[in-house]
Amino acid sequence: MFSFRMASLRFLLTYSSKLLPAFRKQCPAINFKRTIFLPRYPKSSNGRFVNFQRLHSDSAAASTGKREDSFLKWFLLLIPVTTFGLGTWQVKRRQWKIGLINELQRLITAEPVPLPLDPLEVNQLEYRRVKVRGCYNHSKELYLMPRSLVNPEKEAREGGIFSSRPEVGANVITPFHCSDLGITILVNRGYVPKTKIRPETRMKGQVEDEVDVVGVVRLTEARKSFVPNNDIEKNRWFYRDLEAMSDVTGAAPILIDADYSSTIPGGPVGGQTRVTLRNEHLQYIITWYGLCAATSYLWYAKFIKKIKL
pLDDT digits (tens, 9 = 90+) for 231-290: 999 999 999 999 999 999 999 999 999 999 999 888 899 999 877 667 788 899 999 999
Stronger pLDDT, 146 or 73, i.e. the higher one? 146
**To the nearest whole number, what is the mean pLDDT of the chain?**
80
| DSSP count for the chain of H helices, then E strands | 8, 9
- Which stretches of the chain are DSSP H helices? 2-26, 29-35, 52-76, 78-109, 119-122, 152-159, 242-249, 281-299
Q: Whose CA is closest to 249, among 145, 169, 170, 136?
A: 136
Radius of gyration of the chain (CA): 35
Q: For residue 34, is pLDDT > 60?
A: no
Q: For residue 67, is pLDDT > 70?
A: no
Q: Is the pTM of this model over 0.75?
A: no
Stronger pLDDT, 162 or 293, i.e. the higher one? 293
Stronger pLDDT, 273 or 1, i.e. the higher one? 273
DSSP per position, 25-72: HH-THHHHHHHTT-----EEETTEEE-HHHHHHHHHHHHHHHHHHHHH
Pair type for strands 211-218 and 183-193: unpaired
Q: For residue 162, is pLDDT > 80?
A: no
Return the pLDDT at 105.
78
> Residues 256, 175: contact at Cβ < 8 Å?
no
Return the pLDDT at 152.
41
Q: 3-class SS at 134?
A: strand
Structure letter (DSSP) for residue 237:
B
Residue-wise burial string across 177-213, b where 16 or more C-beta atoms lie within 10 A, e elsewhere: bbeebebbbbbbbbbbbeebbeeeebeebeeeeeeeb
Q: For residue 163, is pLDDT > 90?
A: no
Domain boundaries, the chain: 2-91+280-304, 128-262
- Which stretches of 118-227 are DSSP H helices? 119-122, 152-159
CA 83 to chain centre: 19
Q: 3-class SS at 103?
A: helix
Q: pLDDT > 70: what percent of the chain?
A: 71
Q: Whose CA is closest to 196, among 205, 188, 187?
A: 205
Cα separation, 159 vs 193, in Å, equals 14
Cα separation, 81 vs 13, in Å, equals 14
pLDDT in tens, 96-144: 988 888 888 788 788 999 999 888 899 999 999 999 999 999 999 999 9
